Amino acid sequence: MKILLVEDEKLLSDSIRSALVQEGFSVDTALSFREARDKLVDKIYDVVVLDLNLPGGLGFDLFGYIRDMESHPGVLIISVRDSLDDKLRGLNLGADDYLVKPFHLDELTARIRSIIRRRYPTDADELVFYNLSYDMTSGQVKVNGTEMHLTHSQSQILYYLLINKNRTVSKESLSDYVLKDDIDMVDSFDYIYTHIKNLRQKLRKEGSEVSIVTVYGMGYSLKKMDGN
């Protein structure tokens, strides 16, 4: 999967790039409006990660070039602008997602993955991991075809673990993903811990083949159960 990262801040661009490369993407970077435009004309990308404030122009103005591309890449806007107007404008122009800076790298890769999944749907709109499935449109979670009743937070935790399956997800990024702005309203680790405990119980009860593993000092990971 080829990604074009349009971000004028060299330091940030480097970090995002190495994070994405670690995740197995091939990344091209553009540090200015002109560079981004030239690369969009010359090459083919699956996803464009786009900053809005660029030297030489606004990110919004690149959408013309993006639309002209044959590959119809997905667009993820990353911006410091958090007003509803900017978000709506970006989404109306054809962006797939909008991420407000600063963001967690895990969150960024998760969003990129979900864009790619939407671009190249594999199994309808479902995330499947052994006998656990997550319906991306309705948010339904099924084990062996029977629906599990989860709270909103639990379903979000499971989704986040599913898109990062077999990888370790830190408690912080998990709590950040689930609680977002509400993160300082509760003891977030305890909150996540409580929900994970309940999730584990529910998964065990439904006879799921996967379980949430605690990786000491790192976080959690969704893995196939050992033994049976």
Partner 1 sequence: MATNQYNKRFITKIRKEYAIVLPVMLVLIILFNNLAIDFYYKVIYWNRFRSAAAEVADYAREHHSFPNHPEVTVKKLAPGTKSYTYYGYNFREIPDPAHEPGVFSRLFLRDHLHNRRVKEYVTTVALPEGLFEIRVAKIELNEPGGPEREAVLFAVACSLVLFLLLNWGFFQFNLRRVSYNLWRPFYKNLRRVNSYHIRSAKPLQLVETNIREFELFNHAILDFTNKTQAAYNQLREFTENTAHELQTPLSILLAKVELILKKNDLDAANRKELLEIKKTIVRLSGIQKGLNLLSRIRSIQYGGNVEKKTMLITGVIHDSVETYEELIEYKGITLETLEDDPEPVATNEELVRILVDNLLRNAVQHNHTDGKIRIAVQPRGFEIANTGAVPESPGDNLFARYHTRSQDNGRLGLGLAIVEAICDTLDFSCQYYYRDNLHCIRISWER
For binding to partner 1 (CB under 8 A), which residues are involved? 9, 11-12, 15-16, 18-19, 22, 80-84, 100-106, 151-153, 170, 172-173, 176, 181-186, 191, 194, 217
Nearest distance from C-beta of residue 194 to partner 1, angstroms = 7
Contacts of residue 25, defined as CB under 8 A and 6 or more positions apart, other chains included, come to 1, 2, 3, 112
Beta carbon of residue 48, minimum distance to partner 1 (angstroms, whole number)? 18
Q: Are 98 and 69 in contact (CB under 8 A)?
A: no
Nearer to partner 1, 114 or 173 (CB): 173
Tell me whether residue 136 is exposed, middle or buried, using C-beta atoms within 10 angstroms of its C-beta: 0 to 12, 13 to 18, 19 or more.
middle
Indicate the pairing of strand 47-51 with strand 2-6.
parallel
Alpha-carbon span 88 to 77, nearest angstrom: 11
Point out which residues pair with 58 in neighbouring strands.
53
Is residue 27 within 8 A of residue 5, CB to CB? The reply is yes
Cβ within 8 Å of residue 187, ≥6 positions away: none
Considering the complex, state which of residue 42 and residue 152 has its C-beta at the smaller distance from partner 1. 152
CA distances from 37 to 10, 34, 154 (A): 18, 5, 42
Nearer of residues 170 and 211 to partner 1, judged by Cβ: 170
| Residue 82 vs 147, nearer CB to partner 1 | 82
C-alpha of 91 from chain center: 16
Rank residues 128 and 213 by Cβ distance to partner 1 and give the closer one. 213
* Residue 104: exposure state from Cβ atoms within 10 A (0-12, 13-18, ≥19): middle
In the complex, the smallest distance separating the C-beta of residue 217 from partner 1, rounded to whole angstroms, is 5
- 20 token code pair: 């994405």
For partner 1, the closer of residues 185 and 227 by Cβ is 185
Place of tokens 């995002």: 16
Smaller CB distance to partner 1: residue 131 or 194? 194
